[in-house]
Structure 1
Amino acid sequence: MNPWFETVAEAQRRAKKRLPKPVYGALIAGSERGQTIEDNQKAFTELGFAPHVAGPIGERSQATTVLGQSVSMPVLISPTGVQAVHPDGEVAVARAAAARGIAMGLSSFASKPVEEVIAANPATFFQLYWCGSKDDILARMARAKAAGAVGLILTLDWSFSHGRDWGSPEIPQGLDFRTMLKFAPATVIKPRWLTTYLKSGTLPDLTVPNLVTGDAKAPGFFAAYGEWMGTPPPDWADVQWVVDNWDGPVLLKGVIRVDDAQRAVDAGVAGISVSNHGGNNLDGTPAAIRALPAIADAVGDDIEVLLDGGIRRGSDVVKAVALGARAVLIGRAYLWGLAANGQAGVENVLDILKGGIDSALLGLRKTSIHDLDRDDIVVPQGFVRDLGSPVAPTRSLDAAASS
């Protein structure tokens, strides 16, 4: 089989074919009935383009800056937890991102130490959950800063889903002999995935080394998860406390309402990501792209607005940028590439997105990603979700779409 694939959908197909069912299930899972994860993708299909028939067709630029980092295109790696799809995990993703000139987001629940990941890609943002005591959080921030992290991603959008319609993925707390026997039927039928690990001389690592400092033992994923869910949620004063104690830009991830975006500005964050945690937060939350325009209108002149959720094509990136996003973050797309072909697979996914962005720019007759605006997008009536606006806009996108 040719290792190169031409679409993110093909990367997903290969990942499903290669991965044991429990591992693949962890990648596709959304909360409860999956209404939000489905809407994240469906919403992009409702948006159209309004291309010009003539205009500039020369070289097109996708370069931009995000939170002080120069990137080759408006795409960043979103932080995702333990990446057991490949033995090189986050280090392979970081190398791929560096090779393609984009920034890396590293989860505090990652399977690789922050030091190793930053060595692979100096343009790395460290993601932080509100987990444990403030002393614990300060220690993690200090470790990330000492390692060279260029910024902080504070993720606050999370609720506990007690049930998923297709069944929650079965993830072991650790890998001992008894556990390996239990999961053997699911792994022996996926010999290529198992062989990749055997060749590396390792087994999937289900610990989270970035939650500890010094010589402390890294906790298992579920122990870390339990600490996170057992920590009282932060308030806006806590968000400002993080900003005050981090020397650099802070991106607040998980904003879906205008009033929360405005509070984020007041708290001093440098940017926000309009996000519903990839469909893993409160099911029934609208697609991020539906909430983006109102939020960009409200705070886009004050802070950088990013988006994550449902990005599968370069044209999706262009739609998000045209509707007000500085850039997007991708999650499942690069994990499927990692599962399909390691670092090269992640680079493959990034090349697909870059090619799709270029094609859309050509069709719209734009020479730069910065030339995109809302006139390039066909927005259907009723598409936009303006959540938490204190005052209704004088002219909404829906009104513009119907005029």
Structure 2
Amino acid sequence: MNLLPPLSAIPRDVAAAADYPPHARVRLDDNAWAYISSGAADELTWQDNAAAFDRLRLQSRVLADVRGGHTRLELFGQTFAHPILLAPVAYQKLAHPDGELATAQAADALDAGMVVSTLASCRIEHIARQTRAPLWFQLYPQPDRAFTMDLVRRAEAAGYQALVVTVDAPIAGVRNREQRAGFHLPAGIGAVNLQGMPATPSAPLAPGESAVFDRLMTHAPTWNDIEALRSATRLPLILKGILSVQDARRALEAGADGIVVSNHGGRTLDTLASAIDALPPIADAVGDRLVVLMDGGIRRGTDVLKALALGARAVMIGRAWLYGLAAAGPLGVAHVIRLLRDELEIAMALTGCRTLADISRDLLAPAPRRD
């Protein structure tokens, strides 16, 4: 398969984030494409993440004076130019040779907060030196809890400003497209920030034991680990992967400062609710006691507006900019952010919102009757 080099300019036919996947596909081999574009099992949740936004309708507001409007906000004492953050994505060198360093350049250029994955293919310290944009560190708790704390200390020392603990993926989901493609990490790409981690002993399973419950889940994090992290760091603590009111309330009890309503982009457990459908009851339940963020299925600035209207303070985007990274490197990532921000500002203007504080559920039109 002859792969094309990254684009050096944005083609005329790329007018929206959704125009990037075909340009990404011809620049990725089957192995990388299977990883980047797949969801769990039958991919129903992955598809519904986007479809659920399409089911929501906006209500316009005319003749509003929105002069001097802006998209600025504060999260955990940090100022952001807009509410669009780059979600944590593992192994970005699968999409582009510069991986996370290219993404960090785009975040810097577009004033976008970036969340860096534990499974980044570049060292977290190198990424921090690449950008002045706000950086958060996404943590997968490792079997060796001392090594996990070393990761947290490295992130603190490198200047990361929040800790995002992924809580919905203690084991990998069943991703059939990856299985069919025989997905593997190519030589030279790996989780470089986990180098030096002590190996976890693994005894043979006894008759009747489960590979899931008696091996893979043996070292999975629990609420006790969240409470221990809360005691161990002064960074804002955000739990990513909350879909139920009960877990949102438990996060509050454990000392979390924020949550991300997310189903992991539909990549862990199929047939979960879409993230945008799960958002409103969670936002209602926790009110202002937790900062509520959301990710999953965002492809348009109107999607960002809908998420904010339903209770999110900001959103994270993943696949949208990852396709841009594969197609055009940092230029593609920056272009996707710019497109979404421009679309958000236009949507705000046409719904009478001068600032993010003006966005409310009144902007959502009543659902049409289906007799």
TM-score, normalising length from structure 2?
A: 0.87
Q: Deviations over 1:246-303 (max 9, x none)?
A: 1210110000000100000011111000000000121110000001000000113101
Match of 1:29 among 15, 38, 56: 38
Alignment map for 1:32-111 (pairs within 5 Å): 32-83=41-92, 84-111=94-121
Equivalence for 1:143: 154
Of the candidates 140, 144, 148, which is equivalent to residue 129 of structure 1? Answer: 140
Q: Is the 8 A contact 2:240 2:261 kept in 1?
A: yes
Please point out which of 149, 161, 164 is paired with 2:176.
164
CA offset digits 1:82-103 (Å, max 9, x no partner): 0111111111111111211121
SS at 2:164 equivalent: strand
SS in structure 1 of the partner of residue 221 of structure 2: coil
Matched, 1:374 2:361: yes
Structure 1 counterpart SS, 2:136: strand
Equivalent position to 1:312, from 287, 290, 299: 299
What is the rounded CA distance, in whole Å, between the counterparts of 1:169 and 1:253 in structure 2? Answer: 28
CA RMSD of aligned residues (A): 2.2
Structure-2 separation of matches of 1:300 and 1:311: 23
Q: Distance in 1 between matches of 2:264 and 2:251?
A: 17
Instruction: Verify the 8 A CA contact 2:38 2:177 in the aligned structure 1.
Output: no
The alignment status of 1:3 with 2:10, answered yes or no, reads: yes
The equivalent of 1:236 in structure 2 is: 223
* Residue 160 of structure 1: how far off its partner (Å): 3.4
Q: For residues 305 and 349 of structure 1, what CA distance do their matches in structure 2 show? A: 23
CA contact 1:131–1:231 (8 Å) conserved in 2:
no
2: distance between equivalents of 1:295 and 1:18? 39
Gaps of 5+ in 1: 176-204, 220-225, 382-400
Counterparts of 1:107-122 in structure 2, within 5 Å, are 107-122=117-132
Q: Deviations over 1:39-76 (max 9, x none)?
A: 10000000010111221142321111223221111011
8 Å CA contact retained: 2:144, 2:198: no
Instruction: Output the CA distance in 1 between the equivalents of 2:198 and 2:77.
Output: 32
Q: Among 273, 276, 298, which residue is 1:286 paired with?
A: 273
SS at the partner of 1:55? coil
* Contact 2:143–2:220 (CA under 8 A) maintained in structure 1: no
CA distance in 2, matches of 1:168, 1:369: 44
Residues 111-138 of structure 1: CA distance to partner in whole angstroms, max 9, x if unpaired?
0000011112242111111222211111
Partners of 1:311 and 1:105 in 2: how far apart?
16
Question: Where does residue 250 of structure 2 map in the other structure?
Answer: 263
Task: Give the C-alpha shift of residue 7 in structure 1.
Answer: 0.8
- Report deviation, 1:243: 1.3
Match of residue 385 from structure 1: none
Q: Alignment identity in percent?
A: 35
Q: Distance in 2 between matches of 1:110 and 1:168?
A: 24
- How far apart, CA to CA, are the structure 1 residues paired with 2:51 and 2:222? 32
In the alignment, the residues of structure 2 paired with residue 168 and residue 76 of structure 1 have an alpha-carbon distance, to the nearest angstrom, of 32
Q: Indicate which of 277, 299, 308 corresponds to 2:286.
A: 299
- Sort the Cα spacing of 1:87 and 1:155 in 2 relative to 1 into closer, same or farther, 3 A: same
Partner of 2:207: none
- Conservation of the 8 A alpha-carbon contact between 2:128 and 2:135: yes
Within 5 Å, which residues of 2 pair with 1:201-216?
A: 205-212=188-195, 216=196
- Residue 339 of structure 1 pairs with residue 349 of structure 2: no
- TM-score w.r.t. the length of structure 1 is 0.81
- Residue type matched to 2:52 in 1? A
SS in structure 2 of the partner of residue 49 of structure 1:
coil
Are the aligned partners of 1:211 and 1:218 in contact in 2 as well (CA < 8 Å)? no
Tell me the number of residue pairs that the alignment of Structure 1 and Structure 2 aligns. Answer: 344
Q: Secondary structure at the match of 1:273?
A: strand
